Structure 1
Amino acid sequence: MSVNRSANRSASTFVDVPRGLAGVVVADTEIGDVRGIEGFYHYRQYSAVELAQTRGFEDVWHLLVHGTLPDPARSAAFAAETAALRRLPDEVTAALPAIAAAGRGSGPLAGMRTALSLLGAAKGFRPVYDIDAERRRADTVVAAAAVPTMLAALHRLGRGLEPVEPREELSYAANYLYMLTGSEPDERRARAIEQYLISTIDHGFNASTFTARVIASTGADVGACLVGAVGALSGPLHGGAPSRALDTLDAIGTPDRIDPWIRERVLAGDRIMGFGHPVYRTEDPRSRMLRGIAQQFGGPLVELAVEVERQVEAILAELKPGRELHTNVEFYAGVVMELCGLPREMFTPTFAAARAVGWSANILEQAQDSKIIRPAARYVGPQPPAAVPVLV
C-alpha cells in the first residue's frame, strides 16, 4: 500500500497561515512598528511623523542603526562620517556607464542592483555570519551612503549626461537633489524631500524588508541582502506606484472629470492607484503629513490632488459601503516629488534611497539571530510516486 508522505507531514508539522502571511508574526523587532487600526507608526520609541517634522535624515539614520538619537556633537560627527562615504570606488564608477547603457529602458533601480553587487565586491563585504556587529554596521553605512550616488549617476548617464560628484557639506537630501539636477536645491525643496525620505525609511515587515531579513538569515553579506530588497521593492505592488498615482491625476486632468473617471473604474473593479493599504484601516499618517507639505507649496496640482482624494473617498463610501479606503503614502509622495522637480522615473528609486537605511537596520537585527528563515510549502500537485514514462 502506498503512503502519502506529503499528507502525513502536512498533518503533523504544517501550520496554516493566511495568504501572504498577513498578520503572521515571524520575528521580534526593536526597530519599529505599524499600528494599522490607530493610523500610527514609529521608529524605535519615537513617532516616525514627529521625527520627520523635527529631525534631519542623518539623525534618524543614526537612530535606526545605532539605536539612539544623537546629541548635537554626535549628530554632526555621524553626518560627516556618512557624507565622506558618498563617493563611489573607482571600480564601480567605471562600470556605471555600461550598467546604464545595458539597462536603458528599465531605469536606475534595475541598474542599482548590479551597482550594489559591485560595491560589495569592491569594498570587501563579507558574510554577516562571519563578522562582528561593528563590521556589519560599518558595511551597512557604506552601502546606504553610496545608494543616492549610484541612483543619481545612473539616472544622468541614462539621459546622456555626466554624473555629478557628491558634495560632503550638503545634507543627505540636498546632496541627492544636487547630484540629480546639477544645481543646489533651495532649502524648502530639500527639506520637503528630506521629510519624505524620513517618513519612508522603515515601515514594518513589508515585502522588501522581509526579503532583506530572509537573505540576512542565511548569513549572506550586506550587499546581497540589499540587492534582494531592491528587487522586491521594484514590484508595482510594493514601491513601484508613486508615479502611477500621479499618472491617475494626469488622466483625470480637471476637477469636473473626477466623478465620472473614478466611478467608471470603481464599478469595473479596477484599482485606484494611491488608495488603500494592506495594514492601515484608517488614514495613512505618512499621507497626512505629505499632504500638509504639498499644501505648503500650493498650486493646481495640489488642489486637484486634494479634490481627487475627497471625491474618491466619497464615491467609495457610496459604491463600496463598509470598505474604507484612504490615500496611502504613494499618492501625496508623487505630488511632493513632482513639486520638488524629481523626474517620475526617479520616484521609486528615491523611495529606495530612504528604505536602504531601514533595510540596513533590519539586516543588522536579523544577523544577531543564527536561525535561518525557512518556511514550508504544501504540495498540491499530482500524487507521487508516479511511474516515469519509458522513452520508446
Structure 2
Amino acid sequence: MIGGLDDVVAAETVLSDVDGIAGRLIIRGVSLDDLVHSRYEDVLSLLLDGFFPDLSGLPEGLGAARVAVFKHLASVDADLLALTPIEAVRALLARLPDGDDLTTALHLIAAPAVFTPGIIRLRSGLAPIAPNPGVTHACDILAMMLGKAPEAQQVAALDRYLVTVADHGLNASTFAARVVASTQAGLASAILAGLSALKGPLHGGAPGPVLDMLDAVGTPANAARWVEDELARGERLMGFGHRVYRVRDPRADALKGAVELLATSSAIDPVRLALAEAVERAALAALKRKKPDRRLETNVEFYTALLLESLGFPRATFTCVFAMGRTGGWIAHAREQVLGGRLIRPQSRYVGPKPQQAA
C-alpha cells in the first residue's frame, strides 16, 4: 500500500521550496524571514508574477474585488448560517463564476476575506460591514469584523499571518487545486477543491484544538504536569511536530513575532501569552525527553491559535482565515499548472481480487 505519496515528485514549481531538514521556507527566491515584513498584497504580486499580463494595479484591483464580492452576503439565509463557517464560505464562493483572468483571481482571493467577517457578524446578529477599497487587505478584514478601525499592530500581525501561510509547497490543498486546474475547469473550481481539502482536520483544522489545550492547562503552573499526563496517555500535543519539518517550523517563529507585535498593543492578553509560553516550554522539554529519536518542534498551528484568538477571530473560523492567505498560493499554482503543465493523471496499482477462471 502506497501511503500519502511521500517522496513522489508530482510537479516542478517556481513558487515555493519547503526544506524540512534545514527548517527553511523560500517563496519565489525570497526567504520567509524577509517576506514577513511585507504586506500581503506585495506577496501576492510576487506569487502571481508572470501568470497574468499586468499586475501593476493589484492593490487597487483587490480592493475593488472586495467591494464586488460583498453583494453575495445579502443572500445569506438561516440555512447557510447553520453551516460551519468554512462550509458557509465554501457555499458562497461557489457562486462566483469560473474564469482564468486576473479579475476572476482577485475576486476569489477577496472572497474568504469578505465572507468570513460577514458570516462572523451575521452569526452574532449584526449586519455585515461593507469593504473599504482604500485600505490594505489586512486592515479591511479586521475593520469588517471588528466594526472599527484596527490598531496598527493588529494590521501588521494579520499581514504577517497572511504572508506566512500564503504558500507552502505541494500540500494536500495545493495539490487538489492543481489537479482540478489541470483539467482546465477554471480558477473557481480549482479554489473550491483547495478549500475543500483545507477543510479536513488533518490539514487546516489544528489551530482550534491548540486553544482547547491552553484552556485545559489553565495556568502556567499546571503546564508541566498536564503535558506529562497527556503524553502518558498517548495523546498528541497540538501545535507540535510536522509531516515535513524535522526542525522547528520557520513559520512558527514568524508567527511568534506577530504575537510579539500584538504584545505592544491592547489586543493581546498578557496572561494568555504567558500561559502559551509556559505550555510551549513544557511540551518541548517533555517531547525531547520522551521521544529523543524524533525532532518534535513547535509548528505553525501553535502561535496561529494565539494570534488569531487575540485578533478577535472565533476559533471556529480559523480555517477560513487560513484560506484568506492560502488562496493566493492556490491561484498561483493553478495558473502555473495550466500554463506549463499537463492533465494530472497518475497510475494506480490494482490489488483487488482476480476474476475466477471458467472451469
1:356 partnered with 2:327: yes
2:84 aligned to 103, 107, 113, which one?
107
Matched residues, number:
349
- In the other structure, the counterpart of 2:72 is 92
The alignment-based identity, stated in percent, is 39
- In the other structure, the counterpart of 1:63 is 46
In structure 1, the residue corresponding to 2:67 is in which secondary structure? coil
Structure 2 CA distance, aligned partners of 1:350 and 1:89?
17
Structure 1 CA distance, aligned partners of 2:251 and 2:71?
38
Structure 2 CA distance, aligned partners of 1:90 and 1:162?
12
2:352 aligned to 378, 381, 385, which one?
381
Structure 2 CA distance, aligned partners of 1:108 and 1:317?
37
Shift of 1:267: 2.4
Deviations 1:170-206 (A, max 9, x none): 1100100111121111111111011111010000111
Shift of 1:19: 1.4
- In the other structure, the counterpart of 1:281 is 246
- In the other structure, the counterpart of 2:179 is 214
In structure 2, the residue corresponding to 1:204 is in which secondary structure? coil
Amino acid at match of 1:193: L
Structure 2 CA distance, aligned partners of 1:90 and 1:250?
35
1:293 aligned to 251, 254, 258, which one?
258
**Structure whose alpha-carbon radius of gyration is higher:** 1
Structure 2 CA distance, aligned partners of 1:88 and 1:114?
17
In structure 1, the residue corresponding to 2:135 is in which secondary structure? coil
Shift of 1:269: 2.0
Structure 2 CA distance, aligned partners of 1:198 and 1:37?
22
8 Å Cα contact 1:249/1:304 also seen in 2 = yes
Q: Which runs of 5+ in 2 are unaligned?
A: 264-269
- In the other structure, the counterpart of 2:11 is 27
Structure 1 CA distance, aligned partners of 2:49 and 2:301?
28
Amino acid at match of 1:345: A
8 Å Cα contact 2:65/2:103 also seen in 1 = no
**Shift in alpha-carbon separation, 1:261–1:386, aligned structure 2, 3 A:** farther
Amino acid at match of 1:92: H
**Shift in alpha-carbon separation, 1:29–1:353, aligned structure 2, 3 A:** same
Shift of 1:147: 2.6
- In the other structure, the counterpart of 2:155 is 190
- In the other structure, the counterpart of 2:284 is 313
In structure 1, the residue corresponding to 2:292 is in which secondary structure? coil
Shift of 1:81: 1.7
**Shift in alpha-carbon separation, 1:148–1:297, aligned structure 2, 3 A:** closer
- In the other structure, the counterpart of 1:142 is 107
Root-mean-square deviation (Å): 2.0
In structure 2, the residue corresponding to 1:34 is in which secondary structure? strand
8 Å Cα contact 1:88/1:149 also seen in 2 = no
TM-score, scaled to structure 2: 0.91
- In the other structure, the counterpart of 1:343 is 314
- In the other structure, the counterpart of 2:191 is 226
8 Å Cα contact 2:156/2:258 also seen in 1 = no
Q: Which runs of 5+ in 1 are unaligned?
A: 1-15, 69-73, 129-134, 388-392
Shift of 1:78: 2.1
Deviations 1:46-88 (A, max 9, x none): 11231112x21101111101159xxxxx77x321121111123
Shift of 1:209: 0.5
Structure 2 CA distance, aligned partners of 1:155 and 1:47?
34
8 Å Cα contact 1:174/1:185 also seen in 2 = yes
Shift of 1:352: 0.5
1:268 partnered with 2:239: no
In structure 2, the residue corresponding to 1:183 is in which secondary structure? coil
**Shift in alpha-carbon separation, 1:314–1:162, aligned structure 2, 3 A:** same
- In the other structure, the counterpart of 2:32 is 48
Amino acid at match of 1:329: V
- In the other structure, the counterpart of 1:171 is 136
In structure 1, the residue corresponding to 2:18 is in which secondary structure? strand
8 Å Cα contact 2:183/2:343 also seen in 1 = yes
